[in-house]
Amino acid sequence: MVLARGGLVDLLVREATPIGKPDSLAQIREAGGQIHTSTEIATAAFQEDEIELSLTSGERLNCSLAIVQIGFLSAKETFERLALVLNDDGSIAVDPYFETSRQGIFAVGDVHGDIKLIAVAWAEGIQAAIHAFKEITSPYWLNEKRLKDHKIALIGEKIARAASKARHP
Ligand SMILES: Cc1cc2nc3c(=O)[nH]c(=O)nc-3n(C[C@H](O)[C@H](O)[C@H](O)COP(=O)(O)OP(=O)(O)OC[C@H]3O[C@@H](n4cnc5c(N)ncnc54)[C@H](O)[C@@H]3O)c2cc1C
């Protein structure tokens, strides 16, 4: 987008072969952008209105803006503090109803999903809200989800509760 507006772009890639989408890389090259591989920013310093970068390859570059895009890491502390079961990649494990390993705590959107899109997060939020509402408003023995997932356990619980009620009316 910067190239289309007459700006200059240098794309610095740590790997020897850029792993970006081939058509995006082709667009950058065609529009006159420079792709530097096997390099990283070693130092950065203000040089009047510009930023002077020295790269691990020995090159120096002056630029107005440095945009860092070096990947995504989940900040897992909150999830761990809540003792939620996590997937191997650090995302929150949810069931088909977006409920986490802790009853009554739901997770939607980027924190659990493979498809990280706004529309997906919105849609999941609505579904989770409906399931949460059902969970709050339905007695557990009428709850569709619980019946489906834990049918036998529920029947056992129901019998135990009924027996207890009969003993202590
Ligand atoms: C550069 C970039 C470009 C993107 N482009 C697109 C696009 O074009 N189209 C598209 O559909 N999607 C795009 N996405 C993905 C989209 O932004 C996400 O999928 C979407 O925002 C996920 O929504 P979310 O509510 O799950 O998470 P977020 O929008 O990340 O919201 C999570 C919120 O929780 C807050 N938070 C975090 N920790 C805590 C805490 N401990 N306590 C309280 N609050 C906390 C955060 O501050 C944040 O406000 C893009 C993402 C990025 C990074």
Distance 127 CA to ligand 1 centre (A): 18
Asked if residue 117 has its Cβ within 6 Å of ligand 1, the reply is yes
The predicted structure's pLDDT at residue 71: 73
3-state SS, residue 16 = coil
Asked if residue 109 has its Cβ within 6 Å of ligand 1, the reply is yes
- Which CA distances in Å does 71 have to 45, 61, 77, 132? 23, 22, 18, 33
Distance 117 CA to ligand 1 centre (A): 9
* Closest Cα to atom 44 of ligand 1: 78
Q: Going residue by residue through the chain (169 aa), what tens digit of pLDDT does each one get?
A: 899 999 999 999 999 998 878 898 999 999 999 999 999 999 999 999 999 999 999 999 999 999 988 777 777 888 889 999 998 888 899 998 999 999 889 999 999 888 889 999 999 999 999 988 888 877 665 566 655 665 556 566 667 777 777 777 6
How many other CB atoms sit within 10 Å of the CB of residue 43? 10
Query: What is the reported pTM?
Result: 0.65
Distance 124 CA to ligand 1 centre (A): 13
CATH 3.50.50.60 is right for the domain spanning 77-164: yes
**Ligand 1 atom closest to the CA of 78, numbered from 1:** 41
The predicted structure's pLDDT at residue 143: 60
Sorted by where each begins, the domain ranges of the chain are: 3-63, 77-164
Would the CATH topology of 3-63 be identical to that of 77-164? yes
53 touches 61 (CB < 8 A):
yes
How many other CB atoms sit within 10 Å of the CB of residue 83? 10
Query: What are the strands, taking DSSP E only, across 29-81?
Result: 34-36, 41-47, 50-55, 60-63
3 touches 33 (CB < 8 A):
yes
Instruction: Select 3-63's CATH number: 3.50.50.60, 1.10.3720.10, 3.40.920.10, 3.40.50.2300.
Output: 3.50.50.60
What lies within 8 Å, CB to CB, of 159 at 6+ separation is none
Asked if residue 121 has its Cβ within 6 Å of ligand 1, the reply is yes
Asked if residue 110 has its Cβ within 6 Å of ligand 1, the reply is yes
Residue 119: HSE in the Cβ half-sphere, 13 Å Cα cutoff = 0
Distance 121 CA to ligand 1 centre (A): 9
Asked if residue 82 has its Cβ within 6 Å of ligand 1, the reply is no
Q: How far apart are CA 85 and CA 111, in angstroms?
A: 12
The predicted structure's pLDDT at residue 155: 61
Choose among 160, 52, 71: nearest CA to 116.
Answer: 71
Bridge partners for 43 per DSSP: 54
Q: How far apart are CA 103 and CA 72, in angstroms?
A: 28
